[in-house]
Amino acid sequence: MIEAGPLILRPWKLSDAEALVRHANNRKIWLNLRDRFPHPYTQADARAWCALHAADTNSPHNFAIEFQGEAIGAIGLEFFTDVHRKTAEIGYWLGEPMWGRGFATAAVKAVSEYAFAAFDLCRLQATVFQWNPASARVLEKAGYTMEGRLRSYIFKDNLVCDALMYARVRQ
């Protein structure tokens, strides 16, 4: 469990499924994530996610973002392999009613510090779709630097777009 201001970042529980559907079933969230994030986001999707990650208690790297006792979003790390094995991608989303309160920034800062302390990583990165200035700002506030624009790197919602590569390296 990680404390981040008013938030608790903790492993998923089966009982989070209902709140997960309520917050995740939102096209504005889907539009900024990989296509493997379901839309519409069903009860079955939520139960499967919670069941998969409730078991993830050994070196957890997928967390529910809890606020006032409710799971309001997700944050996690995806570890790369081979010569990139000291790099992980950080991914996150929050339910729309929770936007604009500094919550994503608090969560990204906390998980970035946890990631460097708990795992043998040199680099954390995120690729932000070109239409997502809020996420770019979150990363900047959490100590990430924009390294470049990956031209035509994303095909989302039938549109080809650029991505911004943000990274934070171990000090």
Ligand X SMILES: CC(C)(COP(=O)(O)OP(=O)(O)OC[C@H]1O[C@@H](n2cnc3c(N)ncnc32)[C@H](O)[C@@H]1OP(=O)(O)O)[C@@H](O)C(=O)NCCC(=O)NCCS
**Is residue 104 within the footprint of ligand X (CB under 6 A)?**
yes
**Is residue 125 within the footprint of ligand X (CB under 6 A)?**
no
| d(C-alpha 23, C-alpha 88), whole Å | 25
**Is residue 29 within the footprint of ligand X (CB under 6 A)?**
yes
**Is residue 130 within the footprint of ligand X (CB under 6 A)?**
no
**Is residue 126 within the footprint of ligand X (CB under 6 A)?**
yes
**Is residue 103 within the footprint of ligand X (CB under 6 A)?**
yes
- Which residues, 50 to 69, sit near ligand X by CB under 6 A? none
Residue 124 β-bridge partners: 88, 168
DSSP β-ladder status, 123-129 and 87-94: parallel
Could you tell me the smallest distance in angstroms from the CB atom of residue 130 to ligand X? 11
**Is residue 134 within the footprint of ligand X (CB under 6 A)?**
yes
- Of the candidates 107, 134, 145, the one whose C-alpha atom is nearest the C-alpha of residue 32 is 134
10 Å Cβ neighbour count for 70?
Answer: 16
| d(C-alpha 78, C-alpha 40), whole Å | 23
**Is residue 7 within the footprint of ligand X (CB under 6 A)?**
no
What b/e readout covers 80-119, taking b as 16+ CB neighbours within 10 angstroms? eeeeeeebbbbbbbbbeebeeeebbbbbbbbbbebbbeee
**Is residue 93 within the footprint of ligand X (CB under 6 A)?**
yes
**Is residue 6 within the footprint of ligand X (CB under 6 A)?**
no
Give 24 or 120: the residue with its C-beta nearer to ligand X.
24
| d(C-alpha 62, C-alpha 51), whole Å | 12
**Is residue 138 within the footprint of ligand X (CB under 6 A)?**
yes
Choose the stretch contacting ligand X; rule: CB under 6 A; options: 14-22, 56-64, 88-96, 153-161.
88-96
Which residues form the interface with ligand X (CB under 6 A)? 29, 32-33, 92-94, 99-105, 126, 128, 132-135, 137-138
